[in-house]
Amino acid sequence: MRLTFLGTGTSFGVPVIGCDCAACVSDDPRDRRTRHGAIVETEQGRLLVDTPPELRLQLLHARVTSIDAVWFTHVHADHIHGIDDLRVFTVRRGDMPAYVPAEYVDDVQRHFRYIFDDSVRPPMGSSKPRIRVHSFEEGRPVPLLGEDFLPVRVPHGDVSVYGFRAGRLGYVTDAKSLPREAIETLRGVDVLVLNALWFGKPHGSHFNIEEAVEAAREVGARRTFLTHLTHRVTHAELLERLPEGVMPAYDGLIVEID
C-alpha cells in the first residue's frame, strides 16, 4: 500500500494571502501547503481522500492519471469544493464511486445538485461529473480496492469527521480528539496520519501539535505523520521539535506501507 499526501494545509492554505510570516515567505517547498487531500494506492487501484479546491493542480503535481474511487471525510468546503475536478475521470471511465458518510449524503447531493440531479443536463458540448454515491457508517467495514476500509469517526467541533483504517494504515483528519473506539480501531497500525495545527494554544475543533502527539502515543503507531498544518509552523521547526516517530507531512510526500 502507498500513501501520497496531495495537500497538507488547513482551509487557508500556506502561504496565506497577505501574510509575511516565516512559513508564508519560506523558500522551502515543504512549507507550501495546499488544502487537505491524499491518495491511497492498493494493488487494485487508487482511492482519493477528499476533493479540495486545488485538486486539479495537486493531481498534476503528483502525476496521478487515474482514480478508482473517492472517500469523503466530511463536507466542509476545503475538503469537498474541488469535486468538479472528478469530471475528467468520469468522462473517460464512466461513473465514479464516492464513499460518503451516511449522515452527509443529503448534504453532498444538495450542495452539488447539478451533479446528482439527473434532470440537470449540461449544455451541449459540455459535461458534468458522473458520481455514484455509496453511504457508510461507523463500525461497518467498506470493501474497497481489495482492502477493508473501517470507518473511524472523530469529533470536529459540532460535526463528525470520518477517517479510516485500512490494513496497517490509519488515517484521521480534522479531529479534536480520538474517542476510545477510534483508538482501539487504530491500535496496531504501522502508519498513522493525524491533523495538527500549531504548538501551544488549544483549538475548539482541531488537535494542536501537543494533543496530536499524545493521541499518537496512545495509538502506538511506529510512524505518525502530521497533516492539516497551519502557517504558524515551518517544516524545519517541526523537524526540530517533534519527538521520534512523529514527522510532518508535506505536499507530495509518498509513504510506503508494508
Give residue-wise pLDDT tens across range 165-211: 999 999 999 999 999 999 999 999 999 999 999 999 999 999 999 99
Q: What is the pLDDT of residues 21-45, one digit of tens each?
A: 999 999 999 999 999 999 999 999 9
CA atoms within a 13 Å half-sphere pointing along the CA-CB vector of 69: 21
Rounded distance, CA 97 to CA 95, Å? 6
Determine whether 27 is exposed, middle or buried from the number of CB atoms within 10 Å of its CB (0-12, 13-18, 19+). Answer: exposed
- pLDDT grade, residue 258 (50/70/90)? confident
CA distance 47 to 38: 8
Q: Which CATH superfamily is domain 2-256 in?
A: Ribonuclease Z/Hydroxyacylglutathione hydrolase-like (3.60.15.10)
**What whole-number distance in Å separates Cα of residue 250 and Cα of residue 120?**
39
First to last CA, the chain: 7
**131, 86 in Cβ contact below 8 A?**
yes
Position 124 pLDDT exceeds 90: no
Place of cell 479510516: 164
Question: What is the pTM for the complete model shown?
Answer: 0.96
Residue 167: HSE in the Cβ half-sphere, 13 Å Cα cutoff: 16
Show the cell assigned to 194.
493525524
The residue ranges of every structural domain in the chain are: 2-256
pLDDT of residue 93 exceeding 90: no
Percentage of residues of the chain with pLDDT beyond 70: 100
Three-class DSSP category at 36 = coil
Other beta carbons within 10 Å of 243: 10
